[in-house]
Amino acid sequence: MTLKQLENLVTIDEDITNPEFGVYYDKRSIEQLLEYGLILIDKPPGPTSHEVVAWAKRILEIPKIGHSGTLDPQVSGVLPLGLGEGTKALGVLLLGPKEYVGLGRLHSLPSKEKLQQTLDLFKGEIYQKPPQRSSVVRQTRTRTVYELELLEQKERLILLRVMCEAGTYIRKLYYDIGEILGFGSSMIELRRSKVYQFSEEQLVTMHELTDAYYTWKENNDSEKLRNIILPIEHTLSEIKSVVIRDSAIDSLCHGAQLAIPGILQISPGLKQNDLVAVYSQKGEIVALAEALLSEPEIKENNKGYAFQTKRIIMKPNTYPKSWRTSPPPKE
């Protein structure tokens, strides 16, 4: 199965991949998925995001798990967990929007017209100052609210759907709405229903994760766990892609920049400064990089650096070394 982001790429050159090194992204063993995997947890209200990560580490018996986008203890919903080296790819999810469904209480009852007019004021770019109990510096900053919809109203209770930029404080949004209305409002309950391309239909509970891992360990049945742990490459479906030769992989894993001769395919419409995911021919994520050249410039040239490596994800020595660290001896 081909990854969505590796379909319809522009071919720069052709090559074959060595089956003895690496592994096709969708053919990984469970042990390999625990090193390059993604789990979409349905976080319950109560624990902190860090507590959920700690529980997942104990369940899966691995030392390295990270999460994308902290949820307050009382907030439930989508919490992406990266496993092993996969944690390095989670930052990409901060580039996309997040969706929340929240229940709030108005401190008085406005007309429907005034409520809708007030909600419309909070669409687009807004100013926010983080609440006193937050993990970031309390400085006024701008955030974008892409969509703000009143789903339901019952007397002073309002149910809102908010699609917004990462880092938007929904509790503060309710407070500010109340300030504009003139009589205050407060948030009662909140659920995150979407993180970038991942929605709550894809979520699993901690109980389901525990059961799947136990079934694999005790009964050698991996079906449930395979349905839960996704290849980490799914995290990168919304950014542009580059496919490279086997011979270029290990140099990138040691921090080298990507030159044009190592490139096989690129996303159409690639522009300078675009963030891209660099893949092997087997669909494995190698690194995140920034484009130094556009698609036309890469196609027109046969040498020079085309991408600057930003984050190495694949472990070095996964593919054989095919580059020199010093000139060959003179004969």
What is the CB neighbour count within 10 angstroms for residue 40? 20
Q: What angle do CA 11, 15, 17 make, to 5 degrees?
A: 120
Query: Alpha-carbon dihedral of residues 173, 175, 180, 185, nearest 10 degrees?
Result: 120
Active site residue 72: yes
Q: What angle do CA 84, 87, 92 make, to 5 degrees?
A: 155
Which residues are CB-neighbours of 171 under 8 A, at least 6 positions away? 72, 131, 187, 190
Given the residues 15, 26, 72, 211, select the one marked as catalytic: 72
CA distance 273 to 268: 14
3-state helix, strand, coil in the chain (%, to 5): 30, 30, 40
CA distance 327 to 304: 19
> 171: closest CA among 135, 141, 128?
128
Enzyme catalytic residues:
72
